[in-house]
Structure 1
């Protein structure tokens, strides 16, 4: 007796209950698959004579559906997740954040990213007696000679300034008097150098100002801006804190904890025999041949003859690190077509089933990778270049030039290669490469590699050797009906 009208719907209901364990997005297609197979299993089971044998075979099929549901529920494909567009952007963002963080931690990098130390460094010279400067790069001059130079009619210098290294205790509070290395200088010293001064305070004409170096300001005063303008005692002299200057404000590689700017009334009281270092600011309309020399000599007439001085131009400020980086990006863009193909492949017209935002998202992803890679390259090259001290002032520029160019060219090549290996629909990495064809049949049949999107969106065919009829990789869109064959729904 045929029990199909009664028992077959019961088995169908059982399969629908089992389908509740299938992920919702794939539940309908699996129910349809099981119900259609149930029909064939039922027809095949009717050939069994025994009732138990017939329904035992059908029950075994239903138990198999339970196993299918369990596998579908537990299966978490990792291929697509590992190569997803989000994971790629997150990785690039982390690299950029790490390089930026290191750039703000490494002292050498923070100094290199600052603006040039001196404004118009090519017009600022150190002045020293010719005989002494053969022994020392910067030698002292008697303050009396400096006053004589200042009183002479000037056709070469617009201004002269001096400084003298001294050590003085800074009395902050009882039991707190750190000894500082101080550059005692004329009031116009920082202006002649063109050094930036943060939180600068104006002063009375007869009041000395103490300019703290940035490291001293942070170490002694905890980087508090409220101390600027306060009056403190430096040695036996009361001074006012007038601002903060960079640590590298001193010329000739010297470093001071602070600068004591003396008003003219106090500076005039120093003895003529006081040894000081002298700097001068050249007249911009001076001889161009003189301005182009890094070191030259001048002779100053005196009562009993002449005194020769060696004038050494301060090192020109290095090229801004951002300028070097932009130049290397330009060079990398010029070199890119010579090192890799700029084509992303042959992609057919977008199917009507896909929204227009799919194509826009693909190009936005390409731009996002480049936009996140460039900051990582800039700060990463700064970290590698300025993490160590260099003996030559121009060495870091060449190192950054090489590192930035190499990293930028590599990043651009990687960006294009990564884009070619992604599905244009879901932007996931294409997987499961398969060799198709034979090398000996390049001109008779297709030979190359076929990659597949785990979401079932399509296939990518990459030719082994470019030919006239298949010179670049080609993408083949798959109809949504193929989705049941893949791990992820299309």
Structure 2
């Protein structure tokens, strides 16, 4: 039986150790407490023995040992805080990969929002010509040369029409403008007031509050700039409306800007001077040739459904002439439609450049849980989504980097760049997925050669890589055979945990 004094000192020693353990960080407290109590047991056995004889010197030494726990606790408390398990920082984790892809997407997207060519492409796809608009030309006219005279347009516009509900006219001439001194003459289209309403296109950046309607007569003729001319000569100034400039010997008021590239009229005009029929008749000879646009009536749309319609009409002298009406359509798919087509091509071509298999795991009983398999699929889908979005934004940046307006050539480059980026990116995503542990989605590392090349058909020969978290081993054959043709995952059980840094406790 222990003497009463020994029990008192024993209780005092235990209290000292428990008080010292309170100074230890919480995640290490229990381990150090067990360590100190185990050492206290050995110290008591050394100084007191098994006979429990009371000794002042022995208890003084035991108490000094217990007081020594306080400097240890303070030293542990001053160390940097650590988690219960020291996780090794591993480059190429799933979160890090998605973060880098997201950063690349954000950069490409910001650049695309700043490029004027991308804005013009979106605008060109948004504004489309009203259906049922025909370009009327004489059958004998070559190409897109003008063939309708001013007098013939005036005659037809004042006559009732059977198949057309509206007619618009313009003629193109080369004229100097004072907005660009020393520059080349502009291609100016002198058009009727109903041209833009017939086409169904808005006039952008017009001052709606105090600027008169360009279709109405005013003291000065109204001028509508093309998008390319607006960007080239006026730096894309959105407050361009109501500025007065001179075209040739005539002062004109800028009414606004036409949509970018959503329509391609013959003559490639840089700007349109809106004139009334009286102004067209007074300023141009009756024999001046121009372009005639006609809006089909519902009856005309039902009667004329061919791509090119033959029309019999009379000229101002009553002589029958042969005319051809061709629809004005703008073959502009738009950036989004081009992206969808390029994405489809990339997905179709992907199996031709890489195997879509992610490795065999049926050879082992230690397989990932259902949640881990879902996380793996979602991670691959997230990579594909981000890469596709990067391909869309980056292809716009590369195709329209040097463009200020709509360009059909830039559309071709966008298709090419988008297909290339998506195909290469998807190939990388699949290859990257194969090298990631199906459990923790981190890249396997530490490749080691296993087996002999001379025994390929008798034993396994290839490269073995491990997950640094101790979840699995990846076996990659050096020479595919009938019994080992692809990568295989070998999952490790918990008995391997002590070998890996993720499970070490400090």
| TM superposition score normalised by structure 2 | 0.65
Structure 1 residue 261: Cα displacement: 3.4
Q: Judging changes above 3 Å, is the alpha-carbon distance between structure 1 residues 167 and 190 closer, same or farther for their aligned structure 2 residues?
A: farther
Q: Judging changes above 3 Å, is the alpha-carbon distance between structure 1 residues 138 and 101 closer, same or farther for their aligned structure 2 residues?
A: farther
Select which of 275, 294, 304 maps to 1:286. Answer: 304
Q: Judging changes above 3 Å, is the alpha-carbon distance between structure 1 residues 31 and 472 closer, same or farther for their aligned structure 2 residues?
A: farther
Structure 1 residue 371: Cα displacement: 0.9
TM alignment of 1:60-459, pairs within 5 A = 80=90, 82-116=91-125, 118-119=128-129, 123-125=133-135, 127=137, 137-139=144-146, 142-151=149-158, 154=161, 158=165, 159-162=167-170, 183-198=189-204, 203=213, 206-208=216-218, 211=224, 216=230, 219=234, 222-223=237-238, 244-248=257-261, 251-252=265-266, 254-256=268-270, 259-263=272-276, 270=283, 272-273=285-286, 275=288, 277-281=290-294, 283=296, 284=301, 285-286=303-304, 288=306, 290=308, 301-303=315-317, 314=328, 316-347=330-361, 357-387=371-401, 395-459=409-473
Contact conserved, 1:125 with 1:282, CA < 8 A, in 2?
no
Contact conserved, 2:226 with 2:269, CA < 8 A, in 1?
no
> Which range moved further: 338-347 or 206-215?
206-215
Structure 1 residue 272: Cα displacement: 4.6
Please give the alpha-carbon distance, in whole angstroms, between the structure 1 residues aligned to 2:235 and 2:403.
Answer: 26
Q: Judging changes above 3 Å, is the alpha-carbon distance between structure 1 residues 289 and 478 closer, same or farther for their aligned structure 2 residues?
A: closer
Contact conserved, 2:124 with 2:260, CA < 8 A, in 1?
no
Please give the alpha-carbon distance, in whole angstroms, between the structure 2 residues aligned to 1:183 and 1:245.
Answer: 13
Structure 1 residue 304: Cα displacement: 8.6
Tell me which residue corresponds to 1:472: 486
Please give the alpha-carbon distance, in whole angstroms, between the structure 2 residues aligned to 1:192 and 1:341.
Answer: 55
Q: Judging changes above 3 Å, is the alpha-carbon distance between structure 1 residues 150 and 130 closer, same or farther for their aligned structure 2 residues?
A: farther
* RMSD of aligned residue pairs (Cα, Å): 5.6
Tell me which residue corresponds to 1:60: none
Contact conserved, 1:169 with 1:180, CA < 8 A, in 2?
no
Tell me which residue corresponds to 1:461: 475
Contact conserved, 2:139 with 2:322, CA < 8 A, in 1?
yes
Structure 1 residue 449: Cα displacement: 1.5
Please give the alpha-carbon distance, in whole angstroms, between the structure 2 residues aligned to 1:190 and 1:335.
Answer: 44
Contact conserved, 1:103 with 1:383, CA < 8 A, in 2?
yes
Larger Rg: 2
Structure 1 residue 119: Cα displacement: 1.8
Contact conserved, 2:313 with 2:320, CA < 8 A, in 1?
yes
Unaligned runs of 5+ in 2: 1-12, 40-74, 180-184
> Which range moved further: 145-154 or 179-188?
179-188
Please give the alpha-carbon distance, in whole angstroms, between the structure 2 residues aligned to 1:395 and 1:221.
Answer: 22
Unaligned runs of 5+ in 1: 1-8, 39-65, 171-178
Q: Judging changes above 3 Å, is the alpha-carbon distance between structure 1 residues 253 and 305 closer, same or farther for their aligned structure 2 residues?
A: closer
Structure 1 residue 427: Cα displacement: 1.3
Q: Judging changes above 3 Å, is the alpha-carbon distance between structure 1 residues 150 and 78 closer, same or farther for their aligned structure 2 residues?
A: farther
Q: Judging changes above 3 Å, is the alpha-carbon distance between structure 1 residues 216 and 109 closer, same or farther for their aligned structure 2 residues?
A: closer
Please give the alpha-carbon distance, in whole angstroms, between the structure 1 residues aligned to 2:451 and 2:280.
Answer: 91
Structure 1 residue 366: Cα displacement: 1.0
Q: Judging changes above 3 Å, is the alpha-carbon distance between structure 1 residues 98 and 205 closer, same or farther for their aligned structure 2 residues?
A: closer
Please give the alpha-carbon distance, in whole angstroms, between the structure 2 residues aligned to 1:379 and 1:334.
Answer: 21
Contact conserved, 2:444 with 2:465, CA < 8 A, in 1?
yes
Deviations 1:217-253 (A, max 9, x none): 99589535xx97xx77676999998654325467246
Contact conserved, 1:211 with 1:241, CA < 8 A, in 2?
yes
